[in-house]
Structure 1
Amino acid sequence: IAAGKILQGLIGLDKMLAQLTITFPLNKKDVHTHNRTIHSLLFTLWARQILELTPSFEAITLKQARQFFDLLRAGDEKAPYQMLGFEEVFVKDFMVSASGFEPEDTASLKDTLVLIWQEFCQEYDWVDVNALDPRFSKYVLIRS
């Protein structure tokens, strides 16, 4: 991947996150209690939406995290879990925040979200829901 394409993707993510934090403000005191990354912010917000919880960047419980993965893996009988069909949902749900972006920013953001989804799948494709641990959760903020 060319450096310019990576930079375009980062610009798109930055713009999208700026929009999201207007709609769902970050709790400033909570920022220091969890290791917040672009991945953990996106997937925690998305998990809350999938679970029909109040949308926010706040950590979910371990029970909710297990429910989230159970939903994503509903079509999978065993590892490796492919979570088929959810890539499109993930990308579509976040592309809503890109309305009004320049076409090249929109295209780059979409490509970047696909890559983020693929990384998420690789991280969790062999992880059993009973093995989820808040200390080691890179993509979803889980309260301990």
Structure 2
Amino acid sequence: MTILAFAGVQLVPDASLLIHILLILLMIFILNRTFFRPINKVLEARENQKRTNLTEAERILLTAKEKREKLENELLQARSEGYKIIENARKQALTEAQEKIQQTRDDVSKRLAEEKAEINKQIETARKEIANQAKELAEKLSNAVLN
């Protein structure tokens, strides 16, 4: 009968079940107060710190990116100004060279004109001299033939 008695056992809640439930609830309350709440606070503080660090890192990255872009722009402007300076110097040197070439051409043309004028003057002088000598010779010949 004892086996049959166990087979028909029904669990009926009594006061001990209620005490166990109250003890479990008390244990949960105590564990929450003493253990889980501080751990959750530490975890939450870590999470907040992590968010703060990530936000700070993002801000630093953004600042670094802005500075890099600013430096790249300044470098680009400096290169552009350098190229402009080089181009201006090249143009100025080319202009000066062309001016010197033109000045030399003008000097050569002027000197050539002066030399041509001098040669023409010498030719004219030589012609006059030859004409005078020819007259003198003609007079001498005519005097010599006539005399």
TM-score where L is the length of structure 1: 0.19
Point out the structure with the larger helix share.
2
> Which protein has the larger Cα radius of gyration, Structure 1 or Structure 2?
2
Q: With CA pairs under 8 Å and 6+ residues apart, which has the higher RCO, 1 or 2? A: 1
TM-score where L is the length of structure 2: 0.18
